[in-house]
Structures are given as structure tokens and as C-alpha cells.
């Protein structure tokens, strides 16, 4: 009986211990379930954040790629535009150079034709036409050799025409044709006013003007000749003719000074006695 009681107590104790163990197990199960729920909740939040982060990263990536593509495209467009503008500028420059070359060729062709015509005029001794044609040519377009040849020919032509006009004027003087003489001497000086006969042409031109009653036109020319003539032979003649012109226009004081100057400078002149007489007469009357 005692053994039975002991066994019964043992069974009760084991039941109590089993019950406690079940309660502990249940508590642990509940705690584990709570932990699992918490872990699951955290995992869900993590996955949610991960999805959002992935979506954000994707959007950012797409934006970055789009911006990079935009920048690359703009750079490409700028490069192509710059190259196009450069090509257009080069084409425009080439067109301009081509036009200038064509113009130079055309101008050179015209100059060569004009040079040929100048040579033909020179060969035919057409002096007047040669001078006029050379004056009309742009000398910058002629070569140095062409310019020298034609300039020398034109200079020779001017000299020949000047001499011819001067001799023609002398013929008119001998015939008393003063108007024609004036025109001939002016033509001679117009062709070449630095020729060796230029002083003589000026003197005879002034004398022709006096004969035509144009003393006031002759006086400036005679004053220049009487002061500094390239040909010393005409110094006394020009001074004497100047005094006569001044007397003609009744410039008495200037005429007296001119006569005194003539007597002082040219005491051996064949006109010295006549000049002294004229000076004495002017001093007496004026």
C-alpha cells in the first residue's frame, strides 16, 4: 500500500513536472511565434524598402543615362554644327578666291590685249594714240618690263610730239599767226614741260600772248623765266619782255623795277640801250 502511494505521488510529481514543461514549451512557442512575426514584419519592411530603393535606383539610373545621352547628343550636334560652319566658311573663301582668280585672269587677258594694242601703236609710231592708251591703262597690272618698255616709248613719243609742236609754233610766229602759235606752244608744253626746249616754248608762248593782248596771262610765265630759267639764253629776253608787258598794262612802278633789274643783270644785252631809254622816259612821265 505504501508502495502504491509512493508510486502515485511519483506519478503526480511527474504530471506536475510535465504540466510545467508544457507551459514552458507553450510560452517558448508563443515567444518564438512572436519573434517569427517580428522577423517576418521586419523582413517585409526590408523588402518594401528594397523595392523602393531599387525603383529609385532604376529611375536615377535612367535619368543619368538620359542626361548623359542628351549631353553626348548636344556635343555631337555642336561638333557637327561647327564642322558645317567651318566647311561653309571654307567653301565661301574658296568661291571668293576663285572669283578673284577669274577676275585677275580676265583683267590680265584685257591687259595683255591692251599691251598688244600698245605695242602695235608703238610699232606704227602713232604717238598720240600711244600716250592716250598708256594713260588709260592701270599700270599696276602691267609687268615691270612692260611698264618700262611702254613708258620709255611714251616718253619718247611725248618728246617727239613736243618738239614737233614747238617747231610748228615757230613756223606760226614767223608767219605772224599768233593765235595758232599760242596753241602750238601750249601743246608743246602739255606734252613735255621739262624738255630742253621748254624754256624757249614758254618765252615764245608769252610773246604770242602779248601779241594777242593777253599781257596779264604772259606776266606770271615771264616772271618765272626771268628769275630761274633752265635755259640761260632766255633770261635776258624774258626779263625784257616782262618789262614790255608791264608797260603795256601801265603798271609803271613794276615796269621801272623790271627795267632797272634788266639793266643791272644784263649790261651786255643788245636791248640794254633801249631799256635805258624806256626807263628814262617812264621816270620822266610817271
The verdict on residue 148 lying in a domain is yes
Residue 259 domain flag: yes
* Per-residue confidence (pLDDT) for residue 183, from 0 to 100: 92
Q: How far is CA 262 from CA 192, 193, 199, 201, 265, in A?
A: 29, 26, 18, 21, 5
279 within some domain? yes
- State the CATH number of the domain containing residue 211: 1.25.40.10
pLDDT of 141 above 80:
no
pLDDT digits (tens, 9 = 90+) for 30-52: 777 777 788 878 878 777 887 88
What is the reported pTM? Answer: 0.56
More confident residue, 103 or 128: 103
pLDDT digits (tens, 9 = 90+) for 181-227: 999 988 888 888 787 888 888 889 889 999 999 989 989 988 888 88
Count structural domains, the chain: 1
Q: Which residues constitute the domain of residue 180?
A: 144-285
260 falls within a domain: yes
What average pLDDT score do residues 149-155 get? 68
> Is 17 inside any structural domain?
no
| Residue 165, in any domain of the structure | yes
**Nine cell digits for residue 271:** 636791248
**DSSP conformation letters of the chain:** -HHHHHHHHHHHHHHHHHHHHHHHHHHHHHHHHHHHHHHHHHHHHHHHHHHHHHHHHHHHHHHHHHHHHHHHHHHHHHHHHHHHHHHHHHHHHHHHHHHHHHHHHHHHHHHHHHHHHHHHHHHTT-HHHHHHHHHHS-GGGS-HHHHHHHHHHHHHHHHHHHHHHHHHHHHHHHTT-HHHHHHHHHHHHHH-TTSTTHHHHHHHHHHHHHHTT-HHHHHHHHHHHHHS-SSGGGHHHHHHHHHHHHHHTT-HHHHHHHHHHHHHH-TT-TTHHHHHHHHHHHHHH-
Window from 72-76, 87-91, 154-158, 192-196 with minimum mean pLDDT: 154-158
Q: What is the mean pLDDT of residues 264-271?
A: 86
The separation between the first and the last C-alpha atoms of the chain, rounded to the nearest angstrom, is 203
Share of the chain above pLDDT 90, in %: 5
* 10 in any annotated domain: no
Is 91 part of a structural domain of the chain? no
Q: Among 37-46, 56-65, 122-131, which is the least confidently predicted range? A: 122-131
Mean pLDDT of 75-89: 86
Q: Give the residue with greater pLDDT, 99 vs 111.
A: 99
Amino acid at each position: 500500500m505504501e508502495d502504491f502511494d509512493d508510486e502515485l505521488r511519483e506519478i503526480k510529481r511527474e504530471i506536475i513536472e510535465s504540466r510545467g514543461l508544457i507551459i514552458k514549451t507553450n510560452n517558448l512557442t508563443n515567444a518564438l511565434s512572436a519573434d517569427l512575426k517580428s522577423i517576418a514584419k521586419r523582413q517585409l519592411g526590408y523588402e518594401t524598402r528594397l523595392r523602393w530603393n531599387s525603383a529609385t535606383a532604376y529611375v536615377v539610373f535612367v535619368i543619368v543615362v538620359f542626361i548623359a545621352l542628351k549631353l553626348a547628343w548636344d556635343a555631337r550636334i555642336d561638333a557637327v554644327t561647327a564642322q558645317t560652319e567651318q566647311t561653309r566658311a571654307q567653301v565661301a573663301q574658296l568661291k571668293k578666291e576663285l572669283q578673284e582668280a577669274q577676275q585677275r585672269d580676265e583683267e590680265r587677258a584685257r591687259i595683255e590685249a591692251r599691251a598688244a594694242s600698245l605695242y602695235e601703236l608703238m610699232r606704227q609710231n602713232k604717238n598720240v594714240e600711244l600716250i592716250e592708251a598708256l594713260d588709260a591703262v592701270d599700270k599696276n597690272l602691267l609687268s615691270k618690263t612692260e611698264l618700262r618698255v611702254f613708258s620709255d616709248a611714251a616718253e619718247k613719243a611725248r618728246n617727239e610730239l613736243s618738239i614737233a609742236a614747238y617747231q610748228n609754233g615757230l613756223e606760226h610766229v614767223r608767219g605772224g599767226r599768233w593765235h595758232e602759235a599760242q596753241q602750238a606752244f601750249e601743246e608743246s608744253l602739255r606734252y613735255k614741260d621739262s624738255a630742253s626746249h621748254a624754256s624757249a616754248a614758254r618765252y615764245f608762248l608769252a610773246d604770242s600772248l602779248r601779241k594777242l593782248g593777253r599781257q596779264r596771262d604772259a606776266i606770271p610765265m615771264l616772271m618765272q623765266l626771268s628769275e630761274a630759267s633752265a635755259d640761260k639764253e632766255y633770261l635776258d629776253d624774258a626779263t625784257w619782255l616782262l618789262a614790255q608787258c608791264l608797260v603795256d598794262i601801265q603798271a609803271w612802278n613794276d615796269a621801272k623795277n623790271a627795267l632797272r633789274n634788266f639793266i643791272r643783270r644784263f649790261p651786255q644785252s643788245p636791248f640794254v640801250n633801249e631799256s635805258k631809254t624806256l626807263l628814262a622816259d617812264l621816270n620822266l612821265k610817271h
